[in-house]
Amino acid sequence: MKLLFIGDIVGKAGRNAVKSRLERVKNEHKIDFCVANGENIAHGFGVTAKTAEELFNAGVDLITGGNHTWDKREIIALLDEKPIIRPLNFPIGAPGKGVWIAQTDQTRFAIVNLIGFHNMGIVDNPFHAIIKAIDDLTSDGVKTIAIDFHSETTAEKNALLKLLEGKVSAIAGTHTHIGTDDLLIANGVGYVSDIGLSGIRNEVIGMDSAEPIRRYMTGMKRGFETIDSGRTIFQAIVFEINDDGRCIDCYKIKAYDDDETFISQRHGGGW
């Protein structure tokens, strides 16, 4: 089967980039299931019913979250009503769930949303949480397990890969909005530290650059603002996974607003 993971979708521009590209990507690459990190879809912060529905109508099958999951209160009801999950290792008592089990014509599989330690607020240990989840899933007969790991540091993501070699099918890093050049397959696990954002590409992590510059120049903080239109990028990762739950191929897709050509970058080896 082929799983498509779309990186952090930022604001209206990001939603439009997905809407204009996703159908073509799914058709050309024969995608079976599409996961999108949506914690920034509502003007950069959180998820609303309207913005989530835009993604579902565009062809997204599941929305994952991160540290901005709770920024819009209506997300709480949506977690029970829509295919939206939040990080598995949020503390006990948090609404929603962190694992989504689905079925294609041939494969039963699981998508897990996980969040890292650093600068993410109060969360449980992601390493312990994922080991328990994998034990539960494999006991239930699930062989294909793919993870959206929403984490601040590449070291933490690398450590998770080493911990889970041979135990899951794919790990797609999100959160930093900057795509990394370390796509690989390690003992059957497709991996990238960060997919990169979908949204405005010539500002700062998809946001209006004025506030980040002011913040770094003065140390004074105000809220970031998105830009609704401009030069955009669509970034995603395709993981091809066999019947044994092992990744056999993975590659990155980039699409720029001024170039209809999709650029595919194959994994750079592995071990």
Model confidence, pTM: 0.94
What is 171-194 written as a DSSP string?
EEEESS-S--S--EEETTEEEES-
Q: Are 173 and 5 in contact (CB under 8 A)?
A: no
Considering the segment(s) 2-266 as one domain, its CATH architecture is 4-Layer Sandwich (3.60)
Cα–Cα distances in angstroms (integers) from residue 193 to residues 4, 181, 203, 205, in the given order: 15, 8, 21, 16
pLDDT score of 268: 65
Q: Which two tokens stand for residue 6?
A: 């779309």
pLDDT averaged over consecutive 10-residue blocks of the chain (271 residues)? 97 95 94 97 95 98 96 95 98 97 92 93 96 98 97 96 97 96 96 97 90 92 85 95 96 83 68 61
> Residues 68, 150, 177, 267: which is the catalytic one?
68
Judge whether 128 counts as a catalytic residue: no
Task: Show me where the domains of the chain are located.
Answer: 2-266
